[in-house]
Structure 1
C-alpha cells in the first residue's frame, strides 16, 4: 500500500513538474506603420524553467516547397522581464534568437516584421489591409511547438474585419486560439475591410473574404463554390471541417493558391469574373485548393508532417499530393457542370502538351521532380524547361492513367476516387499518419485489382507516356495534329529582341546561341527591338535550311550559322476512337460524367 502511495505521489509530482515546465505563450499583433509595411508582434512567455529560451521562426511555408528565409524580414528583437528590465537577446543561427532570462519566469518579446511581398505564401501590409502568412510572422519556443497559443489582433484605425480559420476565444475581442503551433502556422489571417459573405455546403459553413474589389457576383460565387465543395466532398464521403475560410486577394492580374487545414488563400484577377473561361479557371483554382482539404492536409506522404520548419522536408510523392490534386481540379469543375466534355478534354491535352513539349520531360523523372522541388521547381531559370518536368502537370497525367486503368480493370466499378477514399480512411482516419510510396502503390493495386508497375515506371523514369494505351480503355485516342508536317525548329524565345531561352536540341542550341544574346538580324534582315519580326523572317524557312544569325553578346558582334532541325513539338487533341466497343463507351461515360 505504501509502495503504491509513493508510486502515485511520484506520478503526480512528475505530472505537476511537466505541467509547470510547459511555457504559456501568447501574441499581440498590431500595425503602427502599415504604410511602411510593418507588423508589430509582442510575444509573452510565462512559466519558463530555464535560464534561457530559444525562439525560432520557420524558414518556409508548408505547401510551398522553397526555403524562403522568413527571418530576413525580422528586425528590432527586444526582450524584457515582468519588471520591464531589459534582457539580453542574440542570434545563434539564421532563424533562432536566444533570450537570457536568468531567473525570470515570464518574459515579453517584441519584434517587427517587414511585409511587402505579394503572393499567397508571404505576408503583405499596406495602408488598406494586412495579410499575415503565419510562418513568416510568429516565432515558437524551441522544443515546445506542440504548446497551445492565443493571438490577439489589433486592427489599424479604420480596419474593421478579421478573417481566419483560427477559433475565436469566447469573451475576448479579436483573440484567437490555436491548439499548437502547427495549427497556428496553418492559419493565415486577413485584417482590413474585406467583403465577407458566407454559404453552407456539405454541412459546413464557408466564409469568403474578398480583398481588393472586383466584378464578382456574390450570389453566383456562393452557388458555384458550393457545387465545387459538394463534388470534392463526394470523393471522400465526409467533410472534416466545421468551418472553412477562403481568403481571395484580387489584383489587376493575379493567380495561385496555397492550401491550409481549414482555409485557403487564392490570388485572382479582379475583373476576370465576367470572362467565362477565366471564371471557370477561378473555379478550378477553388477546386484545387479545396481538394487539398483531404489530399495533403490530412492524407499525406509520411515526410510531410510533423514538419521541420527549419529545413527542407523531402518527399518523392508530390506527384500524388499536388499532381493528383491538379488532376481533380479540372475534373471536379467538369463534374459540377461548368466544363462540357470538349472543354474538359482540352484541359487534359493542355497538360499533355505541357509535359511532352518540354525537353526536361526526357531528363528528369517525376519522382525526382518532387524530391528536387526545393532547388528546382520554385527556382526556375532560363534552362529549367530543358532539365526538369512539373510534378503538377505530369502528376495530373499519372492521375488520369490510374483513373482509366482502374475503371478498365474493374469494369467501371472502381476508379481513382475509390483509391483516394481508401487511402484517406486507412492512413488518416484509422492510423492517423502519413503513407509511404509503397503503401500507396499497394492500396491502389488492392482497389484496382491489378498491378500498376507500368504507371510507376513512368513515375521513376524520364520518358514519354503511351497515352493511347490508357485512353483506349475509354474508347478515346490522342492525335497529334502536326503529324506528317515538317516544321523547322529555331528554338529561341525572345523578350524584346533578347534571347530568354534556348530549347534543347534546337537549331539555336546546336549552334551555340546563348540566353541574353541580343538578336540583331537573321539572313541579313534586321530584327526590331520588340522581336516581332523574327517569326515573319523565319516563316519561309524549311527543315535543313542554314540561316545566318547576327547577335550582340556582351557588346561583341557575333555571327552564327544555324541549321534548322525538324521540330518535335506536338499539338494534341483527344477524340473518340472509331468503332469503340460498348464496354469502352461505358467507361468513357463514367470517366467524363456523361449522362
Structure 2
C-alpha cells in the first residue's frame, strides 16, 4: 500500500526504533466448526497510550458495495499482557474501542460464517473458506504493521493461501494489512497440483468430491489458460513470493463466485470438475487469472489503495472487469477449450446481444455503469429499482467495447487489443512498489496509450468520447463481418412481449416484471407487477399456451390485452414486435461463403499464441 504524505511526515517525526514494529498476531481456531463458528484471537503489542480502535472491514477488495462484516462477530472480549480484562465499548456498528491496556491488547471474538464464496466466510465440519475482510479484525493505526496468522487446523486439513508460509513458526505472513486482507485462505483436505511456468510456481489447491483423474484433466486445461493469458502480456507478473495459487473450492455447499487477488484467486462453485460443468468452472479460472495483470497490477488510481471503511467507486470497471470479461472467454478459445462456433455462441452472442438490446447502454456510458458498482455488486436493498432500463453490467458493456476496439484496431490500425494491453502493462502495471502498483492509471492514461498503440490520437480521442465517456453503440454487423461472423436475430420473425412473466396457475394469469422501454408492454402502458388476465382474448393458462399464442402472430400484429393494475382492471391494445434477441454465428454455420481473408483474420484473432 502506498503511504500518504501525512503518514510519511509522521514516520519522519518518530524515533527510528519505533519504525520496526512488532507484527499483529492472529490465531484462528475451529472448536465449533459444525455450527459454522471460528474462534479468532488477535494480539496487538507495542501500542501507544490511549484506546485501541478495533474494526471489522465494511468492504472487500474486488467488491465495491458495503457488506458490514461486523454483523457476524460476537462474544467479544479483550485482556492486557497479564490477562487482565479490559474495557470494551462499541462506538459504532463496525467495531470496538479497547481502553486501559498496558501496550498490549489480546482481542478475542467468535465469528459466524456459512457462505462459501469470494466475499464472506464459509465454515463447517468439512472445510473453512475465509475471505479475510470477513474474518479478521484490524486495529486503526496498525495498518502498516506486518501480520502473522496461525491456523489451528482440525485433523486432515491443510492451508491454501497466498500468504507466505513460515515453517519454523507454523504461521503465515503478510507484509501489511492491505496484503493480509487481499489473501483468501482455504482450509481443508486440499488436493494440490503444482507446476512451473516462466520461473514461477503455479498451483491449484482444490477441495472437491470428484476423482483425481478429473482434477488432472482440469489442471491440464488450466495450464493452457495460464500460457495463453501470459502470451497476451508477453510474460507472467513477478508474483511477490514466486507463487500464484488458485484457491479452489468445488464442494456441493459452495456458492458460485470468482474473486481476484494479487497472487491468488478464490474460485468457488458447487459444479463438479467434469463435462460441461468443468467448462463453466474454467471460464471463471480464465477470467480471474487475467486479473493478475488487469486490476491487481494494472490498477485504476481511484481504487488504490483500497478503503476498507467505505464503498469504493471507480470510473474504470468497464476496463478492469469488462476487458477482463472479454479476454476470459477469448483465452478459453485460444486455449482450445472453445471451438469457433462455441466461442461465437457463448461469448460473442452474449456481449453483442447485451449491449445492443440494453435500454441502459443506449442512454448511459461505460464510465457511468462503472460508477454504479456500489449499488449493484452484491449490494443488498429491498426497494424496487429501474435498473432494467438504466443499467448494463460493466462486465458486459466493457466486454462489448473491448470486442469492438479489438476489431477496429485489427481492421483499421494494423495492431491488436493484445498490443494495447501489453502497452498498458508496460506503462502502468509492470512496475510495483510495496506490493502495489507504482503508477496506477486514470482514464486519460488509457486514452493516451490507445493513441500510442494505434498511432492515431484522433481515433483514440474519438473512441473514448463516443464509446467510453459517451454511449454510442458499436456497429457489430460491420465489425465482425471481416472475421466471417454474422450478427442476426436469434428468432427472426417471431414476436415477444419483451419482459419476464411469472405465471399464476390458480387463476390463469401472469404477473409481469419491469418492462423494457421499447417493449410492447411498456409502450402499451403496463408496469411491473401488473397482472395479465387475457391476451388476445385467451387466458394465460401456462407458458406453453402463451408461446403457442404468440407463435400464431407476426411482428406488427395488434392484440387486445386485459390486465389488472393498481388502478383496477383495464383493457388496451398491444402492438407485437419482433423478438429482439441477437446471436453471433460463423458464416459456416449460417451457410454463407467464407473467404481466405476471413479465415486468416479469424485465425490471427482466435488461434492460440503459444507453441
**Pairing 1:590–2:599 present:** no
Unpaired runs of 5+ in structure 1?
1-10
CA distance in 2, matches of 1:271, 1:80: 46
Counterparts of 2:489 and 2:534 in 1: how far apart (Å)? 32
Quote the Cα distance in structure 2 between the aligned partners of 1:155 and 1:519.
57
**SS state of the match for residue 392, structure 1?**
helix
Q: 2:507: which partner in 1?
A: none
2:162 to 162, 165, 183: 165
User: Secondary structure of 1:219's partner?
Assistant: helix
Choose 89-98 or 300-309, whichever is displaced more: 89-98
Is the aligned partner of 1:408 residue 2:415? no
Counterpart residue number, 2:114: 116
- Is the 8 Å Cα contact of residues 355 and 390 (structure 1) preserved in structure 2? no
SS at match of 1:502: coil
Query: 1:443 is matched with which residue: 444, 449, 453?
Result: 449
Q: CA deviation at 1:517?
A: 4.2
Residue 15 of structure 2 corresponds to residue 15 of structure 1: yes
Alignment partner of 1:222 is 2:228 = no
Please name the residue that 1:7 is paired with. none
Preserved CA contact (<8 Å) 2:162 2:184: yes
Structure 2: state its 5+ residue gaps.
1-10, 433-437, 505-510
Match of 1:129 in 2: 127
- The 3-state SS of whatever aligns with 2:19 is helix
Closer, same or farther: CA 196–82 of 1 in aligned 2, 3 Å: same
For 1:475 and 1:580, the matched residues in 2 are separated by 9
Deviation at 1:288, TM superposition (A): 0.6
For residues 72 and 250 of structure 1, what CA distance do their matches in structure 2 show? Answer: 27
> So what's the TM-score if we normalise by structure 1?
0.88
What is the 5 A alignment of 1:522-541? 522-528=535-541, 531-541=543-553
For residue 208 of structure 1, the aligned residue among 204, 222, 227 is 204
Q: 1:392/1:489 Cα in 2 relative to 1: closer, same or farther (>3 Å)?
A: same
1:534-580 per-residue CA deviation (whole Å, 9 max, x = no partner) reads 222333234241222344x68x9634324124246142335459898
Moved more, 559-568 or 48-57: 559-568
The answer on whether the counterparts of 1:23 and 1:48 sit within 8 Å (CA) in structure 2 is no
Post-superposition shift, 1:329? 0.9
Q: Measure, in 1, the Cα distance between the counterparts of 2:191 and 2:501.
A: 41
Deviates most, 224-233 or 583-592 = 583-592
Partner-residue secondary structure (3-state), 2:360: helix
Q: Which residue matches 1:364? A: 364
Q: Is the 8 A contact 2:356 2:473 kept in 1?
A: yes
How far did 1:436 drift? 0.8
Question: RMSD of the alignment, in Å?
Answer: 2.8
Aligned residue number for residue 4 of structure 1: none
| TM-fit CA distance, 1:59 | 0.9
Structure 2 counterpart of 1:140? 138
Distance 2:386 2:207 in 1: 36
- Cα 1:44–1:415, aligned 2, differ >3 Å: closer, same or farther? same
Closer, same or farther in 2 for the Cα pair 1:564/1:202, shift >3 Å?
A: farther
Counterparts in 2 of 1:9-88, with a 5 A limit?
A: 14-19=14-19, 22=21, 24-88=23-87
| Aligned match of 1:516 | 529
Please give the alpha-carbon distance, in whole angstroms, between the structure 1 residues aligned to 2:294 and 2:402.
13
- RCO higher in 1 or 2 (8 Å CA, sep ≥ 6)? 2
Q: What are the residue-to-residue correspondences of 1:444-593 with 2, within 5 Å?
A: 444-450=450-456, 451-456=459-464, 457-472=466-481, 474-476=482-484, 478-481=486-489, 486-497=493-504, 498-528=511-541, 531-542=543-554, 543-551=556-564, 558-567=569-578, 569-575=580-586, 586-593=600-607
Residues 24, 468 of structure 1: CA spacing in aligned structure 2 closer, same or farther, 3 A cutoff? same
With normalisation by structure 2, the TM-score equals 0.86
Work out which of the residue numbers 175, 182, 191 in structure 1 matches 2:178: 182
Contact preservation (8 Å) 1:210, 1:248:
yes
Q: 1:426 to 1:12 in 2, by over 3 A?
A: closer
Q: What's the secondary structure of 1:337's corresponding residue?
A: coil
